[in-house]
Structure 1
Amino acid sequence: MYFLGLGLILLVMKYMLIEPVANWAWWQVLMPFALAVAWWAWADSSGYTKRKAMDKENARKQARIDRQREAMGLQGSKKRR
């Protein structure tokens, strides 16, 4: 996502003729977009994106379970025998 943001900033600077980007070649200005595509391709093919989504989902699930236990008064209590 950072590559995409950097690419957009450089593109606007090139279009508005802001120095020093105005003197750069177009391939230099568009390079962050190519890097973003490469990053997304790697992240999808390696499973990085799926792992991050699963981690986020598991964290939400655990937070919901903790909230429900706390609401029922079970948080921190030990089972008596």
Structure 2
Amino acid sequence: MNTKNSSPQDAKQRAGRAFEKAAQRKSESDVRVEEQRKADLSLAAKIKGLRELRMQRDAAQAEEAANAPPPVKVVKSRKKAPVAE
């Protein structure tokens, strides 16, 4: 577009439209950044909860193993080889 022959009023209008578009893009960008931040926080909270559950499970398994009776030694009997008569 040739801007040499445009009036000062046209230049102001173009500048105003450009400013409005830039402000709209920034606003949309801010919304996307905020949504991403919320998603990251939600994911971090979910991961933290899963870690806590895993730690509780591991602690319960360790306690169960500590309270379990010692394993009984299994003695296997060997078959005797047939005696040739």
TM bucket, shorter chain: 0.3 to 0.5
TM-score computed with the length of structure 2 as normaliser: 0.37
TM-score computed with the length of structure 1 as normaliser: 0.39
Q: Which has the higher contact order (CA 8 A, sep 6+)?
A: 1
Tell which structure's C-alpha radius of gyration is larger. Answer: 2
